[in-house]
Chains A and B, each alone.
Chain A
Amino acid sequence: DIQMTQSPSSLSASVGDRVTMTCRATQSINNYLNWYQQRPGKAPKLLIYAASTLQSGVPSRFSGSGSGTDFTLTISSLQPEDFATYYCQQSYNTPSLTFGGGTKVESK
Chain B
Amino acid sequence: QLQLQESGPGVVKPSETLSLTCTVSGGSISSSSYYWGWIRQPPGKGLEWIGSMYYSGRTFYSPPLKSRVTVFADTSKNQFSLKLNSVTAADTAVYYCVRLAGDYGGIPGHYIYDVWGQGTMVIVSS
User: Which residues of A line the B interface, CB within 8 A?
Assistant: 1, 32, 34, 36, 38, 43-44, 46, 49-50, 53, 87, 89, 91, 94-102
Q: Which residues of A contact B117 (CB under 8 A)?
A: 43
What count of chain B residues pass the 8 Å CB interface test? Answer: 27
Are the CB atoms of B63 and A1 closer together than 8 Å? yes
Check if B60 sits within 8 Å of A91, measured CB to CB: no
Q: Is A100 within 8 A of B46, CB to CB?
A: yes
* Shortest CB distance B62–A (Å): 7
Which residues of A have CB within 8 Å of B63? 1
Is B47 part of the binding interface, using a Cβ–Cβ cutoff of 8 Å? yes
Question: What would 27 A/B residue contacts be, using CB atoms closer than 8 Å?
Answer: A36-B113, A43-B96, A43-B117, A43-B118, A44-B47, A46-B113, A49-B104, A49-B107, A49-B110, A87-B46, A87-B47, A91-B110, A91-B112, A94-B100, A94-B111, A95-B52, A95-B54, A95-B60, A96-B60, A97-B100, A97-B111, A97-B113, A99-B46, A99-B48, A100-B46, A101-B46, A102-B47
Contact with A along B82-123 (1 / 0, CB 8 A): 000000000000001000101011010111111011110000
Besides A38-B47, A91-B112, A94-B102, 20 more A-B contacts (Cβ < 8 Å) are: A34-B112, A36-B113, A43-B116, A43-B117, A43-B118, A43-B119, A44-B47, A49-B107, A50-B107, A53-B107, A89-B113, A91-B110, A91-B111, A94-B35, A96-B60, A96-B62, A97-B113, A99-B47, A102-B46, A102-B47
Q: A87, A95, A99, A101 — which one has the most chain B CB atoms within 10 A of its CB?
A: A95
